Amino acid sequence: MRESIVRMEKAAKTFATPEGQTITALGGIDLDVRRNEFLTLLGPSGCGKTTLLQAISGFVELDSGRILIDGEDMTDRPPYRRPVNTVFQNYALFPHMSVGENTGYALEVAGIGRQDRARRVAEALRMVGLEGLEGRKPRQLSGGQQQRVALARAIIARPKLLLLDEPLSALDKNLRQAMQIELKTLQHELGISFIFVTHDQQEALTMSDRVAVLSGGRIQQLDTPRAIYDKPRNSFVATFVGASNLFEGEAAAGRLVTTDGIAISHGEQGSTGAATALIRPEQFFLADPGQAGPILDVDLEQIVFVGSTFELFGRTATGRRVIAEIPAMRRGLVGEIEQSRRARLSYDPSAVHLIPAEAA
């Protein structure tokens, strides 16, 4: 395991709402961020991800616990003495300064001479694809360009860690996807750790080395994107990341039976007892007539064409909702089931993931 660049130990923070309630933003979080890692904090709004980020940048003071950056205790250090820079959600570019002055601000503050600064500003702007725009004012730039200036400004002083607070949420979809790839490339070039906050699970899966899924001020799971998606540790993670079909029931060797009597085959021989089986929509396929093996019969309520796939929304005989995703190239078969309003869904038992009940 690589050395950690950020270590949080039992970090806790509660807020009082104006209505007199207390909200646990951080419920005693332990976290290690590795060197050169792209870590994403993923969760719904109010899950504590922004508080966690601000605790690292120094804008939120912890109630208890510690934060170490590169082995140094940062817990009581103000933001301006931490080797960390942030890309803010709304870019936060200084409107009264030019692009060049914005980009060079951290160097100016650090007392680096004019010539050196100009050279490094040019280099940083080149890295984000904005060479030669030093003289412009922020409001003369497009949203995407402002985003890049914010990025250049945050990396120019070579922080040990770059924090990104939902930086792509204001961009349109195409630009956002392009920036996702660029951010990933930039992180490799710079060789520093990125901590990226988002509520967009697609973004988290696309960009990250590891994803921390947060809810209620706690890390629900910290894992690679694939493990998060394929082997969620609890049903919150399973439902928050990707679409899911969950079947709670009693597991025995190779089989799980729900309370309403649906039997799901699975490949995890060792697991017994109360558990939840997870089948992702794309793991279903339409069974050929007379096909043997595990089958789920559903009555279809809706069939939605989304381009590359058809989404089938159905219910089992006992009324349980099921979502399946069928590749669009099988449109012939889809035509048939559209007629009958019934579908026989088959799946591979070895792909079914069991979540033990105590974790769910």
Partner 1 sequence: MLTITARRRAQLAILLGPASLFLAVFFLGPLAIMIVTSFLAPGLYGGVEWTWYPHNYGRILGFADPMFEEFDPVYIAIFLRSLKIAALTVVATLLVCYPAAFCISRLSDRWKSFCLFLITLPFFASLIVRLFVWVLLLRQTGLVNNVLLQTGIIDRPVDLIYTEGAIILGMVYVFIPFMFMPVYASVEKLDWTLVRASLDLGAGPIRTFLRIILPLTAPGIAGGAVIVFIPALGNFVVPAILGGAKVMMLGNLIEQQFLAARNWPFGSALAMMVMSVMLVLLFSYVVVSSRRGLDAAPGR
Q: Would you say 157 or 359 has its CB closer to partner 1?
A: 157
The β-bridge relationship of strands 210-215 and 38-42 is parallel
Q: Would you say 65 or 79 has its CB closer to partner 1?
A: 79
Q: Would you say 13 or 266 has its CB closer to partner 1?
A: 13
Residue 110 found at the interface with partner 1 (CB under 8 A) = yes
Residue 40 found at the interface with partner 1 (CB under 8 A) = no
Pair 79, 157: CB distance under 8 Å = no
Q: Which of 14, 64, 90, 239 binds partner 1 (CB under 8 A)?
A: 90
Structural tokens at position 59: 């804008």
CB of 123 to partner 1, least distance (A): 17
Structural tokens at position 21: 């309630």
Structural tokens at position 275: 């558990």
Cα 228 from Cα 76, distance rounded (Å)? 33
Count, residues near partner 1 per rule CB under 8 A: 27
**What mask of x and - would describe binding to partner 1 in positions 215 to 254, judged by CB under 8 A?**
----------------------------------------
Residue 2 found at the interface with partner 1 (CB under 8 A) = no
Instruction: Indicate the SS3 state at residue 182.
Output: helix
Instruction: Indicate the SS3 state at residue 87.
Output: strand
Residue 78 found at the interface with partner 1 (CB under 8 A) = yes
Pair 12, 64: CB distance under 8 Å = yes
Q: Name the phi and psi angles at 205, rounded to 5.
A: -70, -40
Cα 265 from Cα 354, distance rounded (Å)? 10
**What mask of x and - would describe binding to partner 1 in positions 124 to 163, judged by CB under 8 A?**
-------------x-xx------------xx--x------
Segment near partner 1 (CB under 8 A); pick from 91-99, 221-229, 236-244, 276-284:
91-99
**What percentage of the chain's residues is helix, strand, coil (to nearest 5)?**
30, 35, 35
Residue 15 found at the interface with partner 1 (CB under 8 A) = no
Q: Which of 4, 40, 57, 215 binds partner 1 (CB under 8 A)?
A: 57
Residue 72 found at the interface with partner 1 (CB under 8 A) = no
Contacts 24+ apart (CB under 8 A), 104-108: 104/156, 105/153, 106/153, 106/156, 106/157, 107/156, 107/157
Segment near partner 1 (CB under 8 A); pick from 34-42, 106-114, 198-206, 315-323:
106-114
Q: Write the single-letter amino acid at 176.
A: R
The residues binding partner 1 (CB under 8 A) are: 57-59, 78-81, 84-86, 88, 90, 92-96, 105-106, 109-110, 137, 139-140, 153-154, 157
